[in-house]
Structure 1
């Protein structure tokens, strides 16, 4: 029989494998992505341009850095559940297969990174976004019953939002430890649910008209839920990107 391998040698091999795996997990930014160095005087201006350019390029996925396509952006969770609101929304809704169109078509975007607090912030304005999903709904809007199952179309107009990611640097990579989205302005909301009341067009048109007439109250009722769900989803997307790209590759060495 061959002599047994010493435990210390096994431990050393395990550590080497872990170190090699960690070092190999970092990849460079795509060559078409702009780089910014934290030491440059116009860093946040550079970062703003870099983020704008990168999002414009997300009309297709970049799997090498764990970035999905944003045209459309498909929610990575199969089912989203929205509860009733405190005012006019007295229904619960299930949304499946959520797709968002026009995320690359913002009208303005500003980005900044505070290296003292490790907070990355973006302010984005969208002239229009288009959400499509398979819905199931049952309850009331105001005093009107609403019930159905089919395809929903939701189009926010003139939407402004602030996104913040609180980061933590560990093993030469950033991690997202908290993410928030705040909708700071909404100019309008077009709402259409197909196949309400088992396809009863008269009832369906009446309820969709009521939804559109009361869009602001509906949005205010559901705003906190939308913010929480989207902050979690986009926080996870950004975190997966940070898993691939090191802090120094993103921002240069401290």
Structure 2
């Protein structure tokens, strides 16, 4: 039985998308487009988001309003060099809000496809997670372990996916080589419980300082956050590309 898959995953930030393949066919309520018609493709992505924000068991689509990631490592914990001397781990994270994303435009869906770019707007995204943190960011020394909640408001996200093509069983499939994200919020909020062994006074003070200086804090962390988001999406994208033939998503 042909596995149900998610072509429109290419249009989503952090960790999902939409589409269906019953042995190479998209669902009838998702309009097909001519190849290279990037305006039509963006519109079809938005229609998929409108129709299936919470997924559908009929074609094995995950709930886009609750996206679970077991572990994300940022900063030095992930083995990356960084100006931010910070070890930060997110455990059992749940992200909501991506189901309300809007695809602004896309490019790259061509016969000799090499790179896909999807620009998104996300009105509000919430991340709830357990965290472990130790290190410094800007002028703050941070140490703690507990629950955290992060809000990103009125964000844009530019997703860049480098791909190739290969023939398998008479069909052309995408090979996803790598990808990057560039997530830019206009507003940011974070609250971390249990900083400094549960000292409530220090915990509240540090959260206040971080939120008062959120632009500097987010700027310092953004490279690592975007890198981790891209790594989390890469395996999912490769599975989609392996399952859904590139030939079959277009009008003939």
Q: Give the alignment's TM-score, normalised by structure 2.
A: 0.78
Which residue in 1 is equivalent to 2:92? 97
Q: Which runs of 4+ in 1 moved over 4 A?
A: 62-67, 84-87
Q: Report the alpha carbon displacement of residue 25 of structure 1 after superposing the two structures with TM.
A: 8.8
2:87 partner SS: strand
Q: Of residues 61, 70, 75 in structure 2, which corresponds to 1:83?
A: 75
* Runs of 5+ unmatched residues, structure 2: 4-20
Q: TM-score, normalised by structure 1?
A: 0.77
Alignment of 1:137-156 (within 5 A): 137-156=133-152
In the alignment, does 2:131 pair up with 1:135?
yes
Aligned to 1:32: 29
- Equivalent residues, number: 226
SS in 2 for 1:79: strand
Per-residue CA deviations over 1:110-139 (Å, capped at 9, x if unaligned) read: 223243443222101122211111101122
Seen in structure 2, the aligned counterparts of structure 1 residues 64 and 247 have a Cα distance that, compared at 3 Å, is farther
CA distance in 1, matches of 2:61, 2:233: 11
Correspondence for 2:203: 204
Q: Distance in 1 between matches of 2:211 and 2:202?
A: 14
Alpha-carbon displacement from aligned partner over 1:59-78 (angstroms, at most 9, x marks no partner): 33457877532111112xx2
Matches of 2:113 and 2:208, distance apart in 1: 46
Q: Highest Rg: 1 or 2?
A: 1
Query: Matched residue of 1:217: which SS?
Result: helix
Which structure 1 segments of 5+ residues have no match?
1-19
Cα distance in 2 for partners of 1:155, 1:228 equals 18
